[in-house]
Structure formats: C-alpha cells, structure tokens
Structure 1
C-alpha cells in the first residue's frame, strides 16, 4: 500500500501543471466539509485547497467533526504557504480512498456520497490528463529551503553582542570573552573553567537545599549525595520545614522523611515503623496501602478487606440495644 501511495505522490509532484485544469467545484465539495483525517500533511493540504477555492476556514473548521482532536483547527496558513498544488489534491484523494469506511464498505456518514462523487470525478480527470504532455510554460513551485545560519555569535566580536541581553548569572569568559549562560560550568568556546560561584550564589536556594562542601555545587533538599562529585550530603536533612502529609513517616534510624508509599527508608533502608491508625482504618495486606474505614476493598489493588480489620472496627462501633 505504501508503494502505491509513494507512486501517486511522486506523480503529483512531477505533474504540477495539472492542478489548474481540475474542476474547482469538485475541489470545493471534497474539502468543504472538513479534512479527511487529522494528519498534519493532510490538514495543511486541505487548508491550501480551501484557500484556492475561497472557502472560509473558520466556517469549515466549525462544522468539522474532527476539530476537537485537530491541533491545526482554525489555523490560517501564511500567504507564502497557501499556494495549492497537484500534490495537495492527490493527498486528499488518497486519504478518502484509504478510509476504513471505504475499504470495509460500512455505512458512511450523511453527505459523504457527494464527496465520493466529486473525488471520483477528480480522479478520472487526473487519469485522463496524465496522458497529456507536461506544460512547460507553467513554472514549478520550488520548495523554500530554511535559511541557514551563516555566522555564529563569536565572543570576540563586540558588534554581535550589542543586541544580546545578558541575564542574571550569565558570565563572560576571561580568556576568550565569550558570553556563557549561567548554567555553563565552563566556557563553551575554549573550555575555560567558569566562576566558582556561578552555580551557588546566583541561584535562589530554597529551604532544605544545600551546597556541596567539596565542589560548591548546589543540590536540592531531596539529594543525599552531590549530583556533581557524588560527595556525601549533610548527615541529617531537616524535616521541620517540610510539610508532611497523612501517612508520611520519619525514619527512627536516620530521621529521613519518607512518603507513605515507602515500606523502607530511602536513605538507610530501615523498615517502616508500624503506623498509627485511626479506628476503622486498615492496611492492605497485598500492597500496604492505607485505606479508610468505609473501604471494603483496597482502593489501589482491589484486594478484599481482611476480616480482623472488620472485627476490630465492629468492636468499637455503637450498636442499638435489642428490645426484649
């Protein structure tokens, strides 16, 4: 199937002169109800064809059933990109021909028969016109190549840096005068080492963050080792300033704060102490998830509530005394 598609696209690119000989009424019918799919090339081709027949893009997208899942809905192409070609109509015809509804011969949505009739007319016209010789007087639209960067910014050229905004933390290399961003630990041009405080004092530190005593690298509070030199971090990470949620626990061995889902301490691998449960709450024996008393099955793994948890809860619940 891909071999047939590639052959059709190649033919359309070679016979660029056939597009102006096709019926604008059939083109309007084929693309007037929307795009055949949400593939980017098909959508752009349909937009070019609608611009060619002067259809309002907003009206067509508003009535299209695929607008909710199309990232190009209501987008109008630039004037330089709106020139329709033979390859655009061939791509739309291929999209309709390879539609699963056509292949499986299932029931089609209302109004589809008009689109199919116009598509057959266009395909028939292309077949007949393919037997004619190419019109050399019609110029071929050349694809515009992306502009290449002819010159890179050089640190020694002061004229290039007049319009470059230097932000906080950026630094000039003392060896080659190249402008580096704050995240660069060494010069990108000459590999000269950057300022020692480029990663420390210039970056805002939050509570719990720490500077490595070996390399002065700033680490987040969750890091137990330096990400740069792998040196050991502070022995104890303060947990007073960290907001704990229900189920979180502090390790009795090293004082590290762990999330409720951790069965062992992430730092010292100490087993989690037994949790203090409210009356009726229970721990899932399968996944250790903490469930509320109203849950008859685990919310995480759907494991049934253990009987001992139910009995223990029933002992603490008030029951209406029976009348004699």
Structure 2
C-alpha cells in the first residue's frame, strides 16, 4: 500500500493526508476546498515538537512544520531556506540532546537530511549507511 494516490489531498488546516473521495478532512472536518477563513476556523495548533520538526524562518512566518514537510505549509518557503530544522541546528554545533525529540548520538543522514536515532546504522528513509560520505 502506498502512502498516497493521485487525487489524495492534504488538509490546509491540520496537514492530514485525506483520500480523494473525502469532501472534508477526516481529522479536523475542514472542507477540501477551504478558504483562508475556513482554515483559520479549523486549524488545530500543535505545540509539541517531535524529532525533525522545524520552524519556518521566512520573514513574518515562523510556522511549526512537521518533519515530513520539505516546504512550509503556510508560506511555501523551502525547508533548506528556512534553516531552523533540528538537523541544521545539530550540524551547527548545538548539543543534539538539547533539541526537542533528540537524544545523544542521534544523527542526520548526509544524503536525505532526515533525523535518525542513535541506534540506527542506516537511514530509516533512504537506507544510506550512517557513515556514508565520512572521511
């Protein structure tokens, strides 16, 4: 079973992936073709940070994005542009165990930039070995 099929859609309010046949979000009931007012009404703020989550650094945005997103759900800025992912912070020298959802020894895949737990010897997403590209 694949993660999504043609026509499936992501809710603008809560980022839940819905089947094409749904007219409203299964999770928050926001309409499929929601207006900005609808999104504001149905949006469910999520305050907890999970491993790999990031805040958008684009001017006047600052939105919390799930780890799976490659661009900001609110303004569309690329994750790399935003620069506030936990992975970027860890590679900048911040202690990994001080980042939300991180523990000592966790690592960032050099190929796909995903957060991996210390116990993994290969990336959970792209299967690249932990020491890939190390000198």
Q: TM-score, normalised by structure 1?
A: 0.22
Q: TM-score, normalised by structure 2?
A: 0.45
Higher relative contact order (CA 8 A, sep 6+): 2
The structure with the larger Rg is 1
